[in-house]
Amino acid sequence: MLTRIVRMVFSPEFVPEFEMLFDRVSLKIRAFPGCQKLELWQDERHTNVYYTYSKWTAKEDLQAYRQSELFKEVWARTKRGFADRPQAWSTYKVLEVE
């Protein structure tokens, strides 16, 4: 299972548009083959900073999504609002403590 975290900083005036866009497409992204989980997080202090947190069955599933028309459409609309360069991390769980 691959976990993908993407940090995005938006211009404050773009935030409502981004939230509406994410609300509209989140179920489509979640339904993409291999997507096991999708969450949107907002920074506690900097309300124009968002993170997407997603889990993918395999690296190939994430790559297929990133090559899809859905991703290209969403990313084109999302990147118009960036106030800083986005950052992304792909990770694998090593240890879980309960």
**Mean pLDDT of all residues belonging to the chain:** 97
Q: Structurally, how many domains does the chain consist of?
A: 1
Sign of the alpha-carbon dihedral angle for 73, 39, 51, 91: negative
Judge whether 40 lies within some domain.
Answer: yes
Q: Which residues of 8-35 are buried (b: 16+ CB within 10 A; e: fewer)?
A: bbbeeebbeebeebbeebeeebeebebb
Judge whether 85 lies within some domain.
Answer: yes
Q: Tokens in use for 33? A: 């083959």
Judge whether 98 lies within some domain.
Answer: no
Q: Tokens in use for 74? A: 């969403």
What predicted TM-score, i.e. pTM, was given to this entire model?
Answer: 0.93
Domain harbouring 75, CATH code:
3.30.70.100
**CA separation for the pair 71, 82 (Å, rounded):** 16
Judge whether 97 lies within some domain.
Answer: no
Averaged over successive runs of 10 residues, the pLDDT of the chain (98 residues) comes to 98 98 97 98 98 98 97 96 98 93
Host domain of residue 58: 2-92
Judge whether 66 lies within some domain.
Answer: yes
Q: How far apart are the first and last CA of the chain?
A: 19
